[in-house]
Structure 1
């Protein structure tokens, strides 16, 4: 599941001057399931690791420290870190090991298949890790939409919709990631030609995640090799 949040990038909101349009806070999309799973995994790793460090004998404490140095950044990278930040000017994608900033003018399309992806005008493709696809929820929504269309054809939808609750007018319940993609597509259509939404795509590697993972892997390999 994804949970949109609001974040203020500055201590004070930017006030409009003259005819300039007001600037809004970033809208943040995260996976609620990923956050919960990440916290649980970190709790398990911490519990087992601390117990091994203080109660283990011989090389066990060092192996536990190396394993935690390797595993904790990986868990953070794939569960707690992924997020998509959206505002009127750009799309900022924070994936496990990279941060990609895409001005709307450089975005060619937002595509949903087995994964949710953003394609740039130059042909580059970036996966949106914080918006996992639920094929089960998508198929369920498609079946609901088909039933609603059939009711309209039979004339049931109009009477039920007029009656209020339970009618086809409510529409199918779509998965949160699909709704998030629809919202971003709408913003992209409105803002892709705006002057403030132009610029170059930038990609930054998350060395703060990669460095401890590599260090932990090397230390773990050395300890296992030494025996």
Structure 2
């Protein structure tokens, strides 16, 4: 009598092939947390210590304000992988396969343009003109330092074997030009788009979903607050 062979273990599900790279605004998150703390402090104080209609007004105002603060500070994010770009803006979620992206544009705001011509702003990747100017100054200083170092290397030595050959390599400069963080993120997204646009897995349709979980409470709070103020 032969002994049964041991059954091979069940195959494990494969790891996700395409992992999202998430981009969010650290300044927006910090500002949102601070605003929520202030709203909670003032709101709960009015709820527990207010008189008459004050607690109801405070409650309605909190129902209105909290979703809006979350929408514009904590919610925005950009998710990118090899298949598509997913944009989570304050009131919408837009999914664009790379095959449907025409361009990624940076100006006073960062935008993605679909091949249909529709523009979508990247709320999670805001433009900072101050950061751009600071990066430009750093780049100019680095270029000036590199030129001065090259001049010193090519200058003939007063003692010793003589001048260095003109083809000598000077000290290594920076790995690349200084860039503002959000501009670097846009560069990475453009590179990913150029690489993945023709791939079969990066094709499909653009989808847009409204964030009713944000708009619903905000509208309800606005309606209740308007009724309370109208009743007087």
What do residues 26-45 of structure 1 show as CA deviations (whole Å, max 9, x unaligned)?
10000011111111111111
TM-score, normalisation: structure 1:
0.84
User: Cα distance, 1:177 vs. partner?
Assistant: 1.0
Q: Can you give the 5+ residue segments of structure 2 that lack an aligned partner in the other structure? A: 1-12, 154-168
Asked which structure has the greater CA Rg, the reply is 2
TM-score, normalisation: structure 2:
0.82
* Alpha carbons 2:125, 2:182 under 8 Å: kept: yes
Residue matched to 2:59 = 65
Structure with bigger strand share is 1
Extract structure 1 runs of 4+ deviating beyond 6 A. Answer: none
Residue matched to 2:192 = 187
CA distance in 1, matches of 2:30, 2:178: 23
Residue matched to 1:5 = none
Q: Can you give the 5+ residue segments of structure 1 that lack an aligned partner in the other structure? A: 1-10, 15-22
* Alpha carbons 1:117, 1:127 under 8 Å: kept: yes
What do residues 2-25 of structure 1 show as CA deviations (whole Å, max 9, x unaligned)?
xxxxxxxxx9623xxxxxxxx231
User: Cα distance, 1:95 vs. partner?
Assistant: 0.0
Task: Give the number of equivalent residue pairs.
Answer: 205
* Alpha carbons 1:85, 1:93 under 8 Å: kept: yes
Residues 45/157 of structure 1: CA separation in 2 closer, same or farther (3 Å cut): farther
* Alpha carbons 1:152, 1:158 under 8 Å: kept: no
CA distance in 2, matches of 1:93, 1:157: 48
Output the aligned Cα RMSD. 2.1
